Chains A and B, each alone.
Chain A
């Protein structure tokens, strides 16, 4: 990697407005000052294509940094060196249950170090924030992002403020406090937190990973798509089912697949990217069903708190990506989310958080509707760990069977005769 100035390298040209195309240097900026569109990192794919091969990637570190040539940092990574490269699990039992011959779970419940896909975006965001000279990082979060920013900031010895809604799951709150950042609980929902953070970002010179650092941060999500393709043997699947909050992850999955195709790392791209939302917060999926390319913000009411964004920043682009890929969008109720979580746990031994229940519930629906067919290779993105949202399933998993420390009592309780010895 080059040691050029952080503003531009031979790979990174700068930032560009996704709407009007106005160009900017690669600084901490996220909105076009002309047309208010979102800014995106602009790469020189010719330079990247000249050196990026399957072999070069395979020789890289067993982390998301094996794809560093496609990530917006100028020098070497300095934060989150062990994030990513999580297992792609062949889910035969769940596939049998749902009627799919070739189903995989991309298991980011075991991402390092905070057990969600946010470890990807934060590794990129904090590395970039350091390059841009920041010593304080912050974020607006529904939980997982805050956990990851807090953990990485501790390891990187950066000052940290995380802003969360006041009603998060206990484990997600504790999963901030243990790293000793400033944890700010805002009386409001995520959209209120996000608005407040935009105001704070205008006043304080901090790296807000999902505000002024957003163009860099969001790029980290592409690594989920890269890994899926590489782990399938350099083949893009027929379907990827993606949970949606802001819509950024789905947008970047589609971008990542297209980059691999453009760079010749895959021969063929016919993946349909399917979006999953909870019925209690489904502005993007609702717009998709109505055939609109704009959405109506909603007030979230769902147990899938990590997806509870009523005014999704990348909603438009997620709608566009799904439409371009020929994918579908669906929603599930809170009951179906819990069913999805327990089904995944009981068939594959993977304990996902509520967002994973949304993904599995929607996958089930799309198969039932014939939108995903039995023979199609399908990957479900499971992006967060169930131990962080225990409240959701606490009443759906039964209780332990209590006995005295007696062999007889045990055998009697479970109807086992002593002849079985």
Chain B
């Protein structure tokens, strides 16, 4: 299982939960699996081509996945993933 930190603006989709657990082998499968648990989440994180949106940062154990293998970055049990909007949203 991978632990995922959910940012405030997406917590409306997770029933208010700031941290969830989900099985996943890479970032792409993590997003799919989150989306089946919390429908609508993928649309917020990915564009209509399935690419991670430019102003959504995803970190694996504190490292930006853009500097790893992007959405193909492999995950293992116990990893921690954070989804963080690039622009801090004071207005939310």
A118 to B67, CA, bound (A): 34
**What is the bound-complex CA distance between A36 and B92, given in angstroms?**
11
Smallest distance from the beta carbon of B45 to chain A beta carbons, Å?
A: 9
| A297 to B5 CA separation, bound complex (whole angstroms) | 20
Q: Mark A181-195, 1 if CB is under 8 A from B, else 0.
A: 000000000000011
> Which residues in B have their C-beta under 8 angstroms from that of A195?
88
CB nearest to B9 among chain A residues: A33
Min CB distance A313 to B, Å, is: 6
Are B53 and A294 interface neighbours, CB within 8 A? no
Contact B53 A35 (CB under 8 A): yes
Main secondary structure of the interface of B (DSSP, over half): loop
Query: Within 8 Å of chain A (Cβ to Cβ): is B20?
Result: no
Number of B residues near A (Cβ < 8 Å) is 18
Query: At the interface, yes or no: B1 with Cβ under 8 Å from chain A?
Result: no
Report the minimal beta-carbon distance from A350 to chain B, rounded to whole angstroms.
35
A37 to B91, CA, bound (A): 13
> In the complex, which of the residues B64, B67, B89, B90 contacts A36, with contact meaning CB atoms closer than 8 Å?
B89
> With A36-B85, A294-B66 in contact, is A212–B90 under 8 Å at CB?
yes
B47 contacts the other chain (CB 8 A)? yes
B44 within 8 A of A: yes
Q: Does A412 contact B (CB under 8 A)?
A: no
A208 at the interface (CB under 8 A from B): yes
Chain A 4-21 interface mask (CB, 8 Å, partner B; 1/0): 000000000000000110
Closest beta carbon of chain A to B52's beta carbon, Å: 11
Q: Which residues of A18-62 are within 8 A (CB) of B?
A: 19-20, 28-38
Which 4 pairs across A and B sit closest by C-beta, in order of nearness?
A201-B90, A198-B88, A198-B90, A36-B85
Give chain B's interface residues, CB within 8 Å of chain A: 9, 44, 47, 53-56, 64, 66-67, 85-92
